[in-house]
Amino acid sequence: MPTHPDVPDIDPSSLDWSHRVADLDAIRRVNPHRYELELLTAITHLDPARRFIAGFKDATAQDFWVRGHMPGFPLLPGVLMCEAAAQLCAFFVVSQGIVKDTMMGLGGIESAKFRRMVRPGDRLLLIGHGLKVDRRLTRFHVRGYVGSEQAFETIVVGVPLKTGS
C-alpha cells in the first residue's frame, strides 16, 4: 500500500509502549465494546494536534478466537485486527469531542494488507494517523506491528451512528 504523504513512518520501537494514556477502564468509558469484542488493551499515545494515536491489543491464549481459528495453530483473524484498528480510531474521535452524543461505527476498510501472523502471546501494536477527521466522516491510516515487524496496514473509515430511538 502506498504510504499517504501526510502519514509519517514511525518505527514502533521509538514509542514508549509502557506508558498508558488510557487503560481498559478508560477505554470502556469512551468505546461501547464489551466482552469478546473489546479489542484494545491500552492507549499509549494521543496527540490531537498531529491526529496521532497509538495503543495495543495483547493476544492471549484465553481469547475467544483461539479455540477455532485455527485449532493447533491459532491466528488472530485479520478482520479482528481491522476491528482493533477501528476501535483505536473511534477512541480518538470520541475522546477528542469530534463527535458528541453518538458513537462511531465502521464505515469501511480500504486497502487492507496482512503481512505477519499474530498469535497468542503477541502484543499487536497499533499506530493510527488521521487523514480526515470530521464529525461526519473520518479516515485513519493504521499500521499494526508485532515488535518491529509489520503485521497489517489499512485505512479505517468511521461514521457516526445515531443511537437511541
Q: Which are the catalytic amino acids?
A: 69
The phi and psi torsions of 95 (rounded to 5 degrees) equal -65, -25
For residue 22, what is the DSSP state? B
Q: Report d(CA 2, CA 111) in Å as an integer.
A: 10
Q: Which three cell numbers stand for residue 45?
A: 499515545
Q: In terms of C-beta density within 10 A (0-12 exposed, 13-18 middle, 19 or more buried), how is residue 68 classed?
A: exposed
